[in-house]
Structure 1
Amino acid sequence: MLVELKIPENVGFIARVAKNYGIKRLCLYKCRVTEESYHTAANAKDVLENAVVVEDLQEFLQRMNLIVGTTGIPGGDYKYLRKELLAPEDLPSVAKGRVAVLFGREDYGLYNEELEMCHVLVRVPTSEEYPVMNVSHAAAVILYFLREIERVQEDDEIATFRDIEVTLSNLVEMLRMVQYPEHRIKRTVVIFRRILGRAGVKKYEVHSLNAIFRKTVSYIKRMNRI
């Protein structure tokens, strides 16, 4: 999935790379697509023509089993968002079911709120002297390692983003009831989201966790009424 790419040629180049590796589903979120995009796509014009145009990013991602974010920055202001960066060759070991790989804006990449939604972050190892790659080049490297994933059958038993988010909302309620420090809740949620997403948990497993959190909240409420 391409997120708000501003340079039309990059959209075309990535469509071309996707077709090189037999990846047929390209999703576009607020990308600038022009005639130049089709020109640089060359013989992958059909990939662009059949691309899925996404209006609501979060709603679209709800159906995914794994959301992979890409970044060229290992640190940043919120370092917890960019911990545990995987190399591209490690992705096949965690990619299960419906996988969405987010490639961000040429000038800024993915925003922090988008990185928060990701279960896994991947970074292409580059020279410290010049670490940031053009988005189309990064896509070429990452999609090479994911070229076989597209052919894997979807697994309806793997928890979706929506399943995990319901559980995390109950986790947040429980943390607040036990007076967990408010400033640490967001970081804790990101950690749990990435553990569960990276593990490829099944629906029944995440539902069991959800039941524990809900039962704990219910018990605390009863105790507070005594």
Structure 2
Amino acid sequence: MSASLLDRIVVVLDHPKDVVNIAAVMRAMMNMGLSTLRLVRPDEFDPYRIEGIAHRSGPLIESTTIVDTLAEAVEDCVFVVGTTARARTANRNYVRPRPLAAEMLERAAEGPVALVFGREDRGLTNEGLDLCHRVAIIPTHAEYSSLNLAQAFLVLAYELHLAAVEGGEALPEGRRADRPATLGELEGMYEALQNGLGRIDFFKGTRRADAVVRTLRTVLSRADLDRRESKLIQAIGFEIGNYMDRHQVQADRRPVPGPEGRDHDGSSA
């Protein structure tokens, strides 16, 4: 998928009543790489208030189109997706957001694709849903099924963005990201851990050394350690041993009390 296909996604708000929700949708559009917004007879459209809520939204505000009917807003689109909080009694092509996002981008290669949201207090009308090829339902907890307009839009916009950049946008790495640890480095790490744990008598009773180390191998192998991480864990094992050595030296240097509370050098304890 290509992020450029997001340019062909047309966001349509049908009769939105609250300018705050329009601003929230614009903010989410900018977050998720969407750039085309059409409003069907909004109750209020105040660019000053919108830009105060959705900072740096000036270009999107200027490009927003206001039309009189939903049919007019989607007439140039090759694929129209509506949204609803729950299935209606009429038969519709209901779908979940994740598979829908991939289908929308595939259809966007052919022409504009509309993503339509109804009025905040009542959603899309049945006549509005009649214009839609698919109807998205976002799964929510049964007792709290209703999402507000901005929440619902962000879920669908996120799925679109995710599908558009799949495989093309790497996750950020840590500042000191390193190559994967080699088998030799991992074996050195396990050996240091085993020796260190042995020095503090960790292996006693039912804690057999081979069983404990095998469990550590299982846990740490799931982490896919890099070289730096394996060296850090190896150093923990070494430091346990070093600490025990220092402790033993200090213990050897302490005077040993002699008979009647006197040290071996004859002084009082």
Structure 1 residues without counterparts, runs of 5 or longer: 152-226
What whole-Å deviation, never above 9, does each CA across 1:79-121 have from its counterpart, x for those lacking one? Answer: 124x442111011332103100101111000011001111000
Query: Does structure 1 retain, via aligned residues, the 8 Å contact 2:120–2:149?
Result: yes
Tell me if 1:10 matches 2:21. Answer: yes
Task: Give the drift of 1:42.
Answer: 1.7
In the alignment of these two chains, the number of paired residues is: 147
Q: Distance in 1 between matches of 2:20 and 2:143?
A: 26
Please report the TM-score for the alignment, with normalisation by the length of structure 2. Answer: 0.51
Contact 2:14 2:40 in 1 (8 A): yes
Moved over 4 A (4+): 148-151
2:103 is matched with which residue? 94
Query: Percent identity, aligned pairs only?
Result: 29
Aligned to 1:160: none
Aligned 8 A contact 1:68 1:100 in 2: yes
CA–CA distance in 1 between the matches of 2:164 and 2:76?
16
User: What is the rounded CA distance, in whole Å, between the counterparts of 2:121 and 2:73 in structure 1?
Assistant: 24
For the residue of structure 2 that corresponds to 1:26, the secondary structure is strand
Letter paired with 1:80: A
* Partner SS for 2:56: helix
Distance (whole Å) between structure 1 residues aligned to residue 99 and residue 15 of structure 2: 26
Asked if 2 retains the 8 angstrom alpha-carbon contact of 1:29 and 1:55, the reply is: yes
Consecutive unaligned residues in structure 2, runs of 5 or more = 1-11, 166-269
Contact kept in structure 1, 2:29 and 2:157, CA below 8 Å: yes
CA 1:25–1:148: 2 relative to 1, 3 Å: farther
Aligned counterpart, 1:121: 135
Is the contact made by 2:40 and 2:73 (CA closer than 8 Å) also made in structure 1?
Answer: no
Q: Aligned with 1:94: secondary structure?
A: helix
Which of 39, 45, 48 pairs up with 1:33?
45
TM-score of the pair, normalised by structure 1: 0.60
State the partner residue of 1:73: 86
**Post-superposition shift, 1:52?**
1.7
RMSD: 1.9
Deviations 1:36-68 (A, max 9, x none): 322221222321221122233213322111000
Please give the secondary structure, in 2, of the residue aligned with 1:42.
Answer: coil
Quote the Cα distance in structure 2 between the aligned partners of 1:53 and 1:92: 25
Bigger radius of gyration, 1 or 2?
2
Structure 1 segment 119-158 matched on structure 2, within 5 A: 119-147=133-161
CA contact (8 A) 1:86 1:123 kept: yes
